[in-house]
Amino acid sequence: MERVSDLEDWRELILWWRLRKRIVATEMTPRRRVTYHVAPQWIEAIRQEAATTGDTQGDVLERALALYFHGQGETYGRNKSASLDKWLC
């Protein structure tokens, strides 16, 4: 019985990976890798938000930056959650 469950898990993982590849391939804005030194609380907040929404950490960071610089937090990104609110005190 466990093998059937494992097979279903693998199918879900493959579907998730294919969807993620499609999303990454169709992103409008190319990304570049840079390094910034930030407080550990922000790193943890980004990790938790990504885990909550299912987005990448890069997507979460882009939403936060868009909100800060352009006030577009509500409409920017796919799965905005309110879990970052606790970090904004």
CB atoms within 10 A of CB 59: 21
Residues 47 and 57: beta-carbon distance below 8 Å: yes
Question: Is 77 within 8 Å of 59 (Cβ atoms)?
Answer: yes
pTM over 0.75: no
Number of folded domains that form the chain: 1
Q: 24 is in which domain, residue-wise?
A: 2-87
81 band by pLDDT with thresholds 50, 70 and 90: low
Q: Which of 5-9, 30-34, 56-60, 74-78 has the lowest mean pLDDT?
A: 74-78
| pLDDT tens digits along 18-62 | 877 776 666 666 778 899 999 999 999 999 999 999 989 998 898
Does 8 score more than 80 pLDDT?
yes
- Whether the CB-CB separation of 61 and 31 falls below 8 Å is answered with no
The pLDDT assigned to 76 comes to 42
